[in-house]
A and B are shown apart, each in its own frame.
Chain A
Amino acid sequence: MKLLSRKATCNSHGQGSSYFLGWQEYEKNPYDEVKNPKGIIQMGLAENQLSFVLLESWLAENPDAAGFKRDGQSIFRELALFQDYHGLPAFKQALVEFMSEVRGNKVTFDPSNLVLAAGATSANETLMFCLAEPGEAFLLPTPYYPGFDRDLKWRTEVEIVPIQCTSSNSFQITETALEDAYQLAQKRNLKVKGVLVTNPSNPLGTTMTRAELKLLLNFISVKNIHLISDEIYSGTVFSSPGFISIMEILKESNCENTEVWNRVHIVYSLSKDLGLPGFRVGAIYSNDDMVVAAATKMSSFGLVSSQTQYLLSAMLSDKQFTKNYISENQKRLKQRHKKLVSGLEKSGISCLKSNAGLFCWVDMRHLLSSKTFEAEMELWKKIVYDVKLNISPGSSCHCSEPGWFRVCFANMSEETLKLSMQRLKAFVDSAATTNQSNKISRRKSLIKWVFRLSFDDRETIHGDR
């Protein structure tokens, strides 16, 4: 009898992916301005480190919340005991108001339809448990966040069927692509339970258009399936065309009290917008009371620490703070995004035009030795080991075309970003003058690297988006 479960011994945790392998290499040789100036610069981590100073100054001005106090009285005991899976009412209220504010107050949310979870990781898994049986499937547009392979599939045994998007139309979702994905699932004998999109998109950094959202609503309506909109980056939209939430479209289309109203669910988190991934604050929002009820009970497996709920309820109820934070954060992201884009341009590299997120979707197709994923891996290895930048290869995001890379810009200082662009430029300049005949032998030895790393069952650090 085998000792452990199938889940424990298979690879569905997804950590053999190059996405995580790059991190591993970074961990071995991390860049540090002083201690390790030649180390690998981490550009594979979608973190928002640009606005901490705003949070820190709020803390300085609000000692009560910081010190487990309310109106000068200690509430430590109350918080230490609070484990109600309905969540701290004040926190849920503040959170839905914040979500509303991020959407320009064009939609409002009811806190009783909000379920807290231990990060979006947990929220997404919980929704899968609620909406699909093992062996059923969700359709996801490519490219998508590599963590979904673990979050949506591993313990739930749900399948992902890709909706192939291409650069020909800036990776937007088309009706054909949706239908093709649905047909593909049918062919594989997989029952499709829904579509999951990330809006704004990771890794594209773009907001979905009104047309795409309407197309999706129509599709799920006709097929009688669910739609999950992971809006974790909704507060990172820094320029036009602006963010349109699926809830807005539902409202506009007068969908309230129709069946489709109950089949749209939103996932949210404070990990990106507020830059607090360590606090594990995720949420599911659904208009379906059965989903809310089931998800609430499941949240027992990953509640948000009460002290964290309390701190954030105080912070997010401060409307002056949230208003200022949202706009200032967007400003800083916009500036930083511009710096990355122009830095890349100097190396003759372009990216997908984007208006959101903590990263750019970078086009390095012209640097590939051939239009293949092997060539993409080859290029990626060079960038990690020679240029010493950890960026994420498009294949790890299931992109249908080789040559695209996700490059993060908000998780480092401006100086570090500048340095990374200098290194890139040096690489591109030297590659341009390299002897073409050396390419083939280099490729062979680098492919050996690829096989070695991908079959190595080593520990990797916890993954993030």
Chain B
Amino acid sequence: MESMLRKQKEMLSKIASGNGHGENSPYFDGWKAYETDPYHPTKNPNGVIQMGLAENQLCFDLVQQWLLNNPEASICTAEGVNDFRNIAIFQDYHGLPEFRNAVAKFMGKVRGNRVKYDPDRIVMSGGATGAHETVAFCLADPGEAFLVPTPYYPGFDRDLRWRTGVQLVPVECYSSNNFEITREAMEAAYQKAQEDNITIKGLLLTNPSNPLGTYLHRETLRSLVNFINEKNIHLVCDEIYAATVFSGQRDFISISEIIEEDTACNRNLIHLVYSLSKDMGFPGFRVGIIYSYNDTVVSCARRMSSFGLVSSQTQHLIASMLSDDEFVDGFLMESAKRLAKRHRAFTCGLSQVGIGCLKSNAGLFLWMDLHHLLKEQTYEAEMKLWKVIIDEVKLNVSPGSSFHCPNPGWFRVCFANMDKETMEVALSRIRSFMRKNKEPKLPVKKLCWTKSLRLSTSFKRLDDIISSPCMSPQSPLVRART
């Protein structure tokens, strides 16, 4: 049996048979736990509440109303079907002009119209996932690397590295200074890479940050721009959460704004990744965007977009929706308001039971500090606590180690992917848990840990979870920190 499996593996590439897809990370394991026992207010009130999915579900009513009022935006309705065949045939990788125009305008509005985007630089991709991979293919050869500040979105390990052969070098950011990116940390990471003979090709930022939920100050951005110019490396800015800034469009500072002000910056080094998955709440529509200030990169990325074009049906819908100025202005304002309200409610609820979070002003999640609940400040302890949160508190939250956080005990908790009632249930569960566990250290529940993994032995994939290296203290994630 084993030799058959080995033979089967040998017929495939290393990429296909290895673990570069990164799905053995606990980030995804929590999802699996949720899928076997998903919460439902009536059908499964004791199920696991999904708080590991950074989705924006707060404004669908606005979109649905718009759709009702604009049937011609769909090429399938009686009002829109005249466009059907032209759209169905359209596969030009430049994208529908009206789509590019609408997206460029939208991106500008999200930044309070302080920046103007050129529709001819808008390049499509298969979501931000596809965008990141494409940018990596354009900027780096196999073996070369990008600097990424920690903690960072676990998907980057796959998106930037898996098929491209590119490496990620972490820039460590610590809780002691609110995870700010320091020049020292950047230089240290860069030097270390030089010593290890790794060529750094660029720096990848997510701004606003996932998982921190904070956006970068002007000074920090300027300092980072100086750094990349000095080293002559690229700057890739993922601004996928740009419109989730709670105070609206006035406070967020995009890299685009910085380079407008900084004439010394080499624009050929600056690239943006964007998507409608978070700001609009449309992850299913796969609308990823690459916006580069480098003409060669635009050209190359556009050719590569053949591997992940946006469905023309979707381009048409988005073009229609985002060119409606009244709708967009109203949506952006209302969305920010609702996110702010939800954020406030959740952080208040947590602070009432003595749980603090990093002070944040954007995003669809909180960066929750539970290090005081750890028996010891280790990842092992963090994993144990995480298991308890999933198995006992019945909340799927994402452990900081899966984000490569250098300090154990932090968890990302999403709050915008559920209704108000579910949020209340989540908070009440946390309150009960905290009441039971007034002591800072956890009761010893070794057996409980492995036992409760058998959530449903009939579920095939659990065998993968149990035998996965991540469930043991020898998790590669623990070792990977160094």
Residues of A within 8 A of B (CB): 1, 3-9, 13, 15, 47, 49, 52, 55-56, 59-60, 63, 65-68, 74, 76-77, 79-83, 118-119, 121-122, 125, 129-134, 150-151, 155, 226, 259, 262-263, 271, 275-280, 288, 290-291, 294-295, 297-298, 300-308, 311, 459, 461-464
Contacts and interface: CB of A to CB of B under 8 A. Distances in A.
What 6 pairs across the A-B complex have the smallest Cβ distances? Answer: A278-B312, A66-B76, A462-B93, A306-B284, A294-B16, A305-B311
B45 to A, nearest CB: 21
B63 interface: yes
B15 A4 contact: no
B78 A308 contact: no
A224 to B, nearest CB: 8
Contacts of A76: 60, 63-64, 67
B324 interface: no
A4 B77 contact: no
A130 B74 CA distance: 36
Contacts of B11: 131, 226, 262-263, 288
B81 A60 contact: yes
Contacts of B282: 80
Nearest to A84: B284
Interface string B228-243: 0000101000000000
A285 to B, nearest CB: 16
5 contacts: A8-B296, A130-B15, A155-B137, A155-B163, A464-B91
B48 interface: no
Contacts of A118: 126, 286, 307-309
Contact of A308 (B15, B57, B313): B313
Contact of B139 (A4, A47, A277, A303): A4
B151 interface: no
B91 A80 contact: no
B12 interface: yes
B93 A303 contact: no
A248 B335 CA distance: 54
Nearest to A119: B309
Contacts of A262: 8, 11
B63 A80 contact: yes
Interface of B: 7-9, 11-17, 21, 23, 55, 57, 60, 63-64, 67, 71, 74, 76-78, 81, 84-85, 87-94, 126-127, 129-130, 133, 137-142, 144, 158-159, 162-164, 199, 232, 234, 268-269, 277, 281-286, 294, 296-297, 299-300, 303-314, 317
Nearest to A132: B13
B232 A1 contact: yes
Contact of B307 (A5, A7, A121): A121
A50 B362 CA distance: 50
A304 B164 CA distance: 22
Contacts of A307: 284-285, 311, 313-314, 317
Max chain B Cβ within 10 angstroms of own Cβ: one of A55, A130, A302: A302
Nearest to A2: B141
Max chain A Cβ within 10 angstroms of own Cβ: one of B8, B57, B88, B127: B88
A68 B76 CA distance: 10
Nearest to B303: A13
Contacts of A461: 92-94
B57 to A, nearest CB: 7
Nearest to B283: A83
Contact of B16 (A150, A290, A306): A290
Given A1-B199, A226-B11, A305-B284, A278 B308 contact: no
